[in-house]
Amino acid sequence: MKKYTLGNSKEEILLMFPQKSIKKVLVGEKKIAVVRIGLEIYSFQSNCPHRGASLINGIINVSQEIICPLHEYRFDMKSGNVIVGSCQDLEIYPNNLTDTGLEIIMP
């Protein structure tokens, strides 16, 4: 496992990730998706585990699930669990928002 830090402050992270937008971020050598809802940050694989569609073009619902744009499978952004659909769970990456930025733990 390796820890990466994005930004230099909490304020910078809040500006970097506008509320409920899905951003693609390069962490180490991997492109991941990052979503912020309030002070909660979700980080997970950027491509759908079903057939690989880009989740950057997905939709976030009120249950804090990401809906894939291709076949509309739904995934819990916190646990990565498949809510609707039949495929592997979403790979998620633990993170921690601190006063010095956003720490993301990659496998």
Given the rule CB under 6 A, which residues bind ligand FES?
48, 50-51, 53, 68, 70-71, 73, 85
Q: Where on the phi/psi map is residue 20: left (φ > 0), alpha (ψ -120 to 50), or beta?
A: left
Residue with smaller CB distance to ligand FES, 13 or 82: 82
**Which residue, 13 or 46, is less far from ligand FES as judged by CB?**
46
Number of H helices, E strands in the chain: 1, 10
CA 92 – CA 34 distance, rounded (Å): 10
**CB 87 to ligand FES: min, Å:** 7
Give the shortest CB-88-to-ligand FES separation in angstroms.
11
Q: Which is nearer to ligand FES, 20 or 51 (CB)?
A: 51
Q: Looking at 2-105, list the stretches that DSSP marks H as alpha helix, in order from N- to C-terminal side.
A: 10-16
When the beta carbons of 25 and 83 are compared against ligand FES, the nearer one is 83
Token duo for residue 88:
């592997």
Q: How far is the CB of 75 from ligand FES (least distance, A)?
A: 9
Burial of 17 (0-12, 13-18, 19+ CB in 10 A): buried
Shortest distance, position 74 Cβ to ligand FES, whole Å: 9
